[in-house]
Amino acid sequence: MSKLKWWVGCGHEALVYLAGVKMRDFYFNPKACAKAFKDGRRKLVEIFGKDIRLPDISVPHLSYGHLACLGAHIDFPENSAPCVKPLFSSIDKGIEALQRKVDFSESKLFKHFYKIYKYLKKSFLEKKSVSTASAGKAQ
């Protein structure tokens, strides 16, 4: 008979909460982002022990980054997840916008998240890599 194996995982929201960081600061302040990972991961281990699957250290995940690069406004509430404001009045207008050339690396939001990526990489030198999931895999 085999032993039952289990693990616990969590998202960035738990890290933010456990570290006492405001969600908006997690997205905009590189020091607050690093604090969420350092303090939040430490507290997760204190609570769950070694059976916790710690979240990868990464730039905060922003599901709407691609829309921001197209010009949509992203609202960052103080203590909840970001949300996107409608950008186009119709699907046809959206398709029309997608047909133009867009250089996502020139987006103000991309540049901001790339700055956070570089800060986290420097802050977590003991880690082999910081995930670039939301930094456009830029290195």
**Which range of residues forms the domain containing residue 12?**
8-123
Give pLDDT, residue 8.
67
Q: Over range 113-121, report the average pLDDT.
A: 90
- What mean pLDDT value characterizes the chain? 81
| CA 85-27-34 angle, 5° bins | 170
77 neighbors 20 (Cβ within 8 angstroms): no
pLDDT digits over 40-83, tens only?
999 999 988 877 788 888 888 777 777 777 778 888 888 888 88
Residue 37 has pLDDT above 50, yes or no: yes
Give pLDDT, residue 73.
82
Residue 71 domain-assigned? yes
Residue 136 domain-assigned? no
State the total domains in the chain: 1
Residue 135 domain-assigned? no
Residue 22 domain-assigned? yes
Residue 17 has pLDDT above 90, yes or no: yes
Residue 93 domain-assigned? yes
